[in-house]
Amino acid sequence: MKRPMLAENVVVITGASLGLGRELALQLADQGACLGLAARDADRLEEVAVRCRQRGAKAIAIPTDVSQQSDCACLMERVVSEYGRIDTLVNNAGLSMFARFDELQNLKVMEQLMQVNYFGSVYCTFYALPHLKGTRGRIVGICSLAGKMGLPTRSGYSASKHAVAGFYEALRVECEKDGLSVTVIFPGFVATAIRERALGPDGRPLGRSPYSETGVMTVEKCTRLIVKAIADRRRELVMTVRGKMGQWLKLAAPRLVDNLARKAVERGH
């Protein structure tokens, strides 16, 4: 039987307590990866680590708020202390929103989205990079189709994901000589809890998904595609046919893309 490509690969996953991060941890555990799992919720994070260990993998839970630079530094130090190296960094932690810009009560939502989505990725990458250079490792950014085009009701989210995508595109060129690969993932709608935690106009989580989850990609399928892209060191992965077509249409018929984005929000996906 062929040995999984990511067996014994030391992987740091942020946002690992829920959704894509949790499923990534479980699927990589099945491959025999050595996992450093990070998220704010210590109890949920430890539950994921336990399940990974039950699958035969090594896994440590490291409570981390990626919006805090010192937390990100401590995360990488803890992983290196435990495993001796870092082979792969998966910047998955993220926060969304659901509100028109003119509905916001203040700008804290915009600031928080940028702090978590963009600076969280920057901080983790900064502290992991010296170790990744030593292993000619992998950097993986879980972005969004909102990082390819602006989406109504998610202006701050789209802005943060555009920033993330630009950061990784530049980093890919800078790090090529060091043997590092940079993979950027652009999922569409996936059945995760991220929309329930999306910030509303008042800056508080909605507590419910504003969209219909019917017919959207499952978290298991999405994660399988991500794991393969990580193993193959793909440059980028745009998940959906709609997302791929949207890039061409944006060049040829930008107003049509605007209308499609508006209708997607109106109908829930």
Specify the pLDDT at position 241.
53
Q: Which residues are part of the catalytic machinery?
A: 157
In a domain, residue 121? The reply is yes
**Domain region containing 219:** 10-240
**DSSP string for 57-118:** -EEEEEE--TTSHHHHHHHHHHHHHHHS---EEEE-----B-S-GGG-SSSHHHHHHIIIII
* pLDDT tens readout for residues 77-136: 999 999 999 999 999 999 999 999 999 999 999 999 999 999 999 999 999 999 999 999
In a domain, residue 126? The reply is yes
What percentage of the chain has pLDDT greater than the value 90? 71
Q: What is the pTM of this model?
A: 0.89
In a domain, residue 269? The reply is no
Instruction: Provide the domain count of the chain.
Output: 1
Here the CATH number for the domain that contains residue 198 is: 3.40.50.720
* pLDDT tens readout for residues 220-237: 999 999 999 999 999 999
Q: Are 183 and 237 in contact (CB under 8 A)?
A: yes
In a domain, residue 177? The reply is yes
In a domain, residue 231? The reply is yes
141 membership: H or E segment, kind and range: strand 138-142
Q: Is the pLDDT of residue 196 over 80?
A: no
Long-range contacts of 104-110 (CB under 8 A, 24+ apart): 104/201, 105/201, 105/202, 105/203, 106/203, 108/203, 109/156, 109/199, 109/201, 109/203, 110/155, 110/156, 110/159
Distance separating alpha carbons of residues 81 and 248, to the nearest angstrom: 46
Q: What are the beta bridge partners of residue 105?
A: none
Return the minimum-mean-pLDDT range out of 87-91, 103-107, 204-208, 239-243: 239-243
* pLDDT tens readout for residues 40-76: 999 999 999 999 999 999 999 999 999 999 999 999 9
Specify the pLDDT at position 140.
98
pLDDT band for position 2 (50/70/90)?
A: confident
* pLDDT tens readout for residues 16-48: 999 999 999 999 999 999 999 999 999 999 999
Question: Tokens representing 213?
Answer: 């989850």
In a domain, residue 249? The reply is no
